[in-house]
């Protein structure tokens, strides 16, 4: 219990939407976020047998600050996940900041509608790098550490 009421009724930070074939990735993403102090909703852990799936999905989509889409060919070809990401993306188009954050876990073509969104890319990286990319990608601010670029000009020989 918090001063805002029962913990389970507070807005979650992230709803992780995924295709069942990518459940391992979705669980890893949710666990990594929770280990970092974020609050998540994920079907594998939060939807119970006998629940109304569509009502739970609606509650998850409306009760989170951001939706993370676990992008893969499975995700992009599923009509069920399409309903989830389009609902979340609609919120982005209506002005919700980073309403839909794509997380690419397999080689796939994200165009045309998702093409303009910058995604977190976890394809073919080691776990520590994937964790760093995920956590910096969901962070509310950008950690800018500009490097001194090499001089692009100079005398031609």
**Structure confidence by residue, pLDDT tens digits, 86-144:** 988 888 888 888 889 999 999 998 878 888 889 999 999 999 999 999 999 999 877 76
Determine the structural domain holding residue 30 and report its residue range: 20-138
Here the CATH number for the domain that contains residue 113 is 3.40.50.10140
Is residue 14 a part of any domain in this protein?
no
Is residue 154 a part of any domain in this protein?
no
pLDDT in tens, 4-18: 333 444 689 999 999
Structural domain count of the chain: 1
Is residue 145 a part of any domain in this protein?
no
Question: In angstroms, rounded to a whole number, what is the distance separating the alpha carbons of residues 103 and 118?
Answer: 9
pLDDT in tens, 18-37: 999 999 999 999 999 999 99
Q: Strand 120-121's sheet: what is its strand order? A: 40-42, 12-17, 64-71, 100-104, 120-121
Is residue 8 a part of any domain in this protein?
no
List residues bridging with 120 in a β-sheet.
103
Is residue 149 a part of any domain in this protein?
no
Is residue 133 a part of any domain in this protein?
yes
Taking CA atoms, 70 is separated from 16, 51, 143, 156, in Å, by: 7, 23, 23, 48
| Dihedral angle sign, alpha carbons of residues 31, 32, 36, 42 | negative
């Amino acid at each position: 219990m918090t001063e805002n009421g029962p913990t389970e009724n507070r807005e979650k930070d992230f709803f992780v939407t995924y295709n069942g074939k990518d459940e391992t990735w979705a669980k890893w993403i949710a666990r990594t976020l929770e280990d970092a102090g974020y609050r998540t909703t994920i079907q594998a852990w939060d939807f119970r047998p006998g629940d109304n799936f569509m009502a739970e999905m609606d509650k998850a989509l409306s009760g989170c600050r951001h939706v993370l889409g676990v992008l893969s060919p499975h995700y992009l070809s599923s009509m069920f996940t399409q309903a989830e990401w389009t609902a979340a993306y609609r919120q982005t188009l209506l002005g919700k900041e980073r309403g839909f954050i794509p997380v690419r876990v397999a080689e796939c073509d994200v165009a045309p509608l998702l093409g303009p969104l910058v995604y977190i890319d976890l394809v073919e990286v080691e776990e520590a790098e994937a964790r760093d990319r995920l956590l910096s990608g969901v962070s509310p601010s950008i950690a800018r550490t500009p490097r001194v670029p090499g001089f692009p000009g100079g005398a031609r020989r």
